[in-house]
Each structure stands twice: as C-alpha cells, then as structure tokens.
Structure 1
Amino acid sequence: MIHMNTTDTKTAAILLAPGFEEIEALTPFDLLRRAGIDTTLVSVENKTGCTGTMGLEVTGLTPMKDYDFTKADALIIPGGPGYEVLEQNQEVTDLIQSFGRDKTLGAICAGSSIPGKLGLYKDRDYTVVPDLNGDFGGTFEKVHAVISGNIVTGISVGGAFEFALDLIRVLKSPEAADDIARATCWTL
C-alpha cells in the first residue's frame, strides 16, 4: 500500500536504467526541482551511476533499494532503450501500477508504453511515442503531453518540457507551472 506524503513538500522519483533518454529524465528533474518538488533520480539497478542513451553518465543516484517509495507523491518513467529494463523489472511494474491507481504517475516516450501495456490507460487520454502505441484501451493523442487525472504522459524528447510542466500542474498547481514556464522563458 502506498501512502500519501503528509508534508507540504511534494516528492517525485525518476527511475533510471541504462539507456534512459537524458532529456526525458533530466528536464523533468530540473523543472520539478525549480518548482520546489523534492525530486530524486533512482537507479533501478541499485547503483549510484547510470549511462543514458546518448552516453551521458549521471552519478549521485539513489539505489532503488534505498528509496522509500511510500513517501513519494509521483513516479516518473523516462523513455529511451532503458524502458525495456524497467518493463522487465517486476518491482518497477508493481510501482507503476500502484502509482497509476493511487498517486501521480508520469511516463514519457517509450516509457509511456509500459503503463499502457499494464492497462492503466483504459478509458483515458494519453500520449506515447507513436511507434509504440498499441491497443491500450484509451484515446491516443498526438500532442506533446497529456494530463488524464493522476496520469501525465509525454510523447518523446520534443515533449519533455511540456511533460515536466504538466507534472508540476498536477503536483502543485497550474500557477506554479506557469511561473516555471515564465522563469525559464518557455513562455515569453
């Protein structure tokens, strides 16, 4: 059972596996942190480092075994070839199902296909990289990002900024997302 964070500060965990898409992981990390959301990069391989699909080595990760998901308000799944590692990890798919039911779940690009395969898009709007869209029981939208209740999806690298802003809209407020959009010159 996952419990909600009872503090005023929202928290988010971004799951990383080798081959994660750097922009889809680090743009949300950066923008959520700017919005005051305590965001942690978590290694599903229980290491302190991970290499992305473009070769960027990210260090200072929290091993999954050391992260308390019961205190997190959001779980974020980036894309890139690393999505296959996430998809094959039962603990990860259990977390995705739990957050998809009870908390905030964010998934982008190939990472968005995992909740779809788990049935979480039934009767919902969603987006996913078009090549991996399947019969997920909902309505696919070819847009940068979609909010459908507690689930936020992003299409791919090009939607990473809007995806992150939508996560802020859900976790904090539309005003907080607008503030970050202005502060980063997304909105001129």
Structure 2
Amino acid sequence: MSKKNTILLLADGAEEMEAVITIDILRRAEIDVTIASIIDQECIKCSRNVKICADAKLEAVKDKQYDAVILPGGLAGSKALSNSKEVGDLLKKQETEGRLIAAICAAPTALKAHGIGFGKQITSYPSMKDQLIGDYKYLEDVVVTDGNIITSRGPATAFAFGLTIVEKLLDKTSALNVAKGMLYKDYE
C-alpha cells in the first residue's frame, strides 16, 4: 500500500492549533502532509501571531493528487480560503474524484463558498452555524463525517479531527495507536 499524502492549506489568519495539531497527528501516523501557502509568501502569520512556514506555495503543488485536502479554520484564514480561486479549483477536483476533504472551525464556510458538499452533514465553530444551515444538515457533534467530507468545531476538537482523518485514510487501529502514543484518551 502506498503512503497516503495530504495537503493542508494556509493563509494569514489561520488557526494555528488546528493546523499544527492536525499536521502533527497525520505525521505521527506516517501520512505525508504538504503545508501549502495560498498567499504569495512562505511564512504565514496565524491568528495568534504564531508563524508557520509552508513547505510550498499552492501554485507549485496544486496539480498533484492528494488523498485529503485539509482546511484549518481561523476567521481571516477561512475568508482567504473562501476567496481563493485556486482553493476552489482544488476542492472541486477533490470532490469530483471522491477524495477526502476536511475542514475545521470557520473553514466549512470555504466549502460553502466553493459549492462543496451541499446537502451533507457538517459541523463548524458555533458562530458559523447560521451561515451553513441552509445548505447543509448541521450537527453539533465534535467531528462529523459524511462520505468524503469531515468537519469539526474548533481548536479543542483538533485532536479528534486529526485522528478521524487518520482513521478515514488508514484505519481505526492506526488512529487508536496515535491517540495512545499522545496519551489522548477521548478517541474511541
């Protein structure tokens, strides 16, 4: 079985915990993660002034095939994801090919902006609910998986979000092993 590969998209204002925790969990599971900047700079200034340097700019890696495209939240970061044509093109290709799309916190609004997954069950940061309920079946679960779409609520749910991505890409045992290694007990 070939190694799974993912891309995590970042823009200024991204929520750093959601990005870093997800990246860390996937890499612990030996899943490749390309951190891609959707803006024309290598280092991203996140919502709490933490800087994350990308592996590549989206322009350089957008034509590759990914097992999962991951969108961290953060209000400004999510707005940038929503407004990016390149992000929209990547998400539409991912959806058409039936590959995994994962969005947390405010990032499900980017799914809506690009017409992704309408009618599916999703969740988000609570203040985003009203923007999403007309186009999706909104739930308030920690993580919601509906087909190829995984969504989650916010920074505190990033562990469950990352582990769910691992489970979907690999298997439950792999996710449980990563959780055990981190001493994370809330994943079953």
Per-residue Cα deviation, 1:99-157 (whole angstroms, up to 9, x for no partner) = 23321100001101221344433332111112112234332111211111111101111
Residue 61 of structure 1 pairs with residue 55 of structure 2: yes
Aligned counterpart in structure 2 of residue 98 of structure 1, from 93, 96, 99: 93
Residue 161 of structure 1 pairs with residue 159 of structure 2: yes
How far apart, in 1, do the equivalents of 2:163 and 2:134 lie? 24
Q: Structure 1, unaligned stretches of length 5 or more?
A: 1-6
- Give me the TM-score of the superposition, normalised by structure 1: 0.90
* 1:175 Cα deviation from its structure 2 partner: 1.1
RMSD: 1.7
Q: What pairs with 1:19-98 in structure 2 (closer than 5 Å)?
A: 19-80=13-74, 81-98=76-93
Residue equivalent to 2:181: 183
Q: Secondary structure at the match of 2:178?
A: helix
How far apart, in 2, do the equivalents of 1:131 and 1:107 lie? 15
How far apart, in 1, do the equivalents of 2:6 and 2:141 lie? 24
Higher mean C-alpha deviation, range 8-17 or range 138-147 = 138-147
Give the % identical residues. Answer: 27
* 1:169 Cα deviation from its structure 2 partner: 0.9
Equivalent pairs, count: 182
Residue equivalent to 2:6: 12
* 1:172 Cα deviation from its structure 2 partner: 0.8
One-letter code aligned to 1:92: V
Contact 2:73–2:154 (CA under 8 A) maintained in structure 1: yes
How far apart, in 2, do the equivalents of 1:21 and 1:148 lie? 23
How far apart, in 1, do the equivalents of 2:140 and 2:62 lie? 34
Q: Secondary structure at the match of 2:106?
A: helix
How far apart, in 2, do the equivalents of 1:48 and 1:62 lie? 7
- Give me the TM-score of the superposition, normalised by structure 2: 0.90
